[in-house]
Chain A
Amino acid sequence: MIGVIDIGISNIGSVLNMFKYVGHEAKGISKKSELEACSKIVLPGVGSFDKGMAQLLSSGLVDTLNKRVLEDKVPVLGICLGMQLMCLSSEEGSSLGLGWIDAKVRDFRKSATPPKKTPNMGWNTVQVKKPIGLTADFDPETRFYFVHSYYVDCTNSSDALLITKYGVDFVSAFQVDNIIGAQFHPEKSHVFGANFLKKFGSM
């Protein structure tokens, strides 16, 4: 069973519905016992970095989450802000992230080549850096829906799973062992997102 973490400011309804559509059993979770019981974890999120981190801390789930992800090596997928929370820190705020991935979250507007428009809002293609199961059948038409003003910058380029160009080349998905993060919203990327979540559920 896939547990979708409900930290209060995230849209878990569409994630749950998309899993149902592709034939995977998923439910919203907010208790330690539920986190212990699930075989895969999704950390969705919208909103600002500090607020998201504060919600996660006040949920009391962080210790169990660290154990499940870092020790039990349960596959985990961070979506949008959820991906960013897996990093060390963010230029959006002063809170520390979960620190699972050696990466910093940066502001498009402060990059060397800032995009003409921030936030990055809309559909964009992805360049596959690592052809693993999740990305193996991606083609140049594969695209996802993005809504974000901050982007992930991985210290180790080998952590990047997908790269997308928006002013800068940013990490649109990373993968380190069992930890996966996606900047885009697979649950809102119709045929492409359905395929992505179907494969995550089958990992």
Chain B
Amino acid sequence: MINSRVIVQLLIKDGKLIKTRRFGKSKYIGDPLNAIKVFNEKAVDELVITDMTATKNGIDFDLVQKMATEAFMPICYSGGITNEVDAHKLFKLGVEKVCLTSAAISNKLLLRQLVDTYGSQSIVVNINVKKNIFGTLKVYDAASKKNTSLNLKEHINSVVDIDIGELILTDVDKDGELCGLNLELLQYVENVSMPVVITGGMKSANELVGASMKGASAVMAGSCFVFHGPHRAVLISYPFGGGYKIMKDMINDRV
């Protein structure tokens, strides 16, 4: 059985598809609905929609509905979820999973309520990880653009204890850099019982093989699926067959 996934992250800023570098400077990619149509044809394993501006502007339910309706693959929505009503609306609009980042830090009660109401399989937590000046990994807060005082291992344990369905680890320093995933992050989740997704810096979908050997269930990326060449020309691409094909080819090569 092969169920490793290669997930595409679509980053939204004020209703437009963009891509950041190290959570900072962003480049305009295009219209999110057009992008989904292209990814439909390429039979993508899964999409994660991250709305960077939802915390500030509120969740753009209209856009989420259009995106979820367009997508013939699973969608996880992330950005600006602060209460159960938000989650309820998002599921009704057709997303399979919702992902909490800030709320998973500040509102464990909400996280617990969501797991109880919708089941673990629908609730994802993302943790943004960044090294501090002493080289220690800390949990990063994208809204204030600062590291929190939270210890990574403790934060992981606190959300895992709530029995969430999936954990995403994002390396902030590698975001958009196309320098390769930081597989070292996976040592922090060795004993975690739920699927783990690793993201930040991926340059090739084939990194799934190494990540999966270290325990990841999926890899996720934005830049390597929307940019082409050294000048980062916008070109949407995705290896047809996704994680299934990559892992199968790997197994066949070894036999």
Consensus secondary structure, chain A interface: mixed
A122 within 8 A of B: yes
Tell me the number of A-to-B contacts counted with CB atoms below 8 Å.
129
CA distance in complex: A107, B6 (Å): 27
A48 within 8 A of B: yes
Interface stretch of the complex, out of A66-74, A128-136, A184-192 = A184-192
- Given known contacts A149-B120, A190-B43, A46 and B93 CB-to-CB distance under 8 angstroms: no
Interface stretch of the complex, out of A4-12, A56-64, A96-104, A153-161 = A4-12
Task: Establish whether residues B166 and A121, one from each chain, have CB atoms under 8 Å apart when the complex forms.
Answer: yes
User: Which residues of chain B come closer than 8 Å to A191, judged between CB atoms?
Assistant: 43
B138 within 8 A of A: no
Task: Establish whether residues A47 and B91, one from each chain, have CB atoms under 8 Å apart when the complex forms.
Answer: yes
Task: Establish whether residues A123 and B118, one from each chain, have CB atoms under 8 Å apart when the complex forms.
Answer: no
CA distance in complex: A121, B56 (Å): 31
Say which size band chain A's interface belongs to.
35 or more
- Given known contacts A119-B120, A188-B72, A9 and B96 CB-to-CB distance under 8 angstroms: no
B92 within 8 A of A: yes
B143 within 8 A of A: no
Task: Establish whether residues B121 and A147, one from each chain, have CB atoms under 8 Å apart when the complex forms.
Answer: yes
Task: Establish whether residues A11 and B68, one from each chain, have CB atoms under 8 Å apart when the complex forms.
Answer: yes
User: Which residues of chain A come closer than 8 Å to B194, judged between CB atoms?
Assistant: 117-119
- Given known contacts A14-B69, A47-B122, A147 and B116 CB-to-CB distance under 8 angstroms: no
Top-8 shortest CB links A-B: A122-B3, A119-B121, A13-B94, A11-B94, A14-B94, A13-B69, A190-B72, A188-B74
Binding site for B on A (CB under 8 A): 8-14, 16-18, 21, 46-48, 51, 92, 116-125, 143, 145-149, 164-166, 185, 187-191, 193-194
A8-B92, A10-B92 are known contacts; what are 7 more A-B pairs with Cβ within 8 Å? Answer: A11-B91, A13-B68, A48-B119, A122-B243, A123-B45, A149-B119, A166-B1
Some 25 contacts from A to B, beta carbons below 8 A apart, are A11-B91, A11-B92, A11-B95, A13-B65, A13-B93, A21-B72, A46-B122, A47-B117, A47-B122, A48-B117, A92-B119, A116-B193, A117-B194, A117-B195, A122-B45, A123-B2, A123-B243, A124-B1, A147-B122, A166-B3, A187-B72, A188-B73, A188-B74, A191-B43, A193-B72
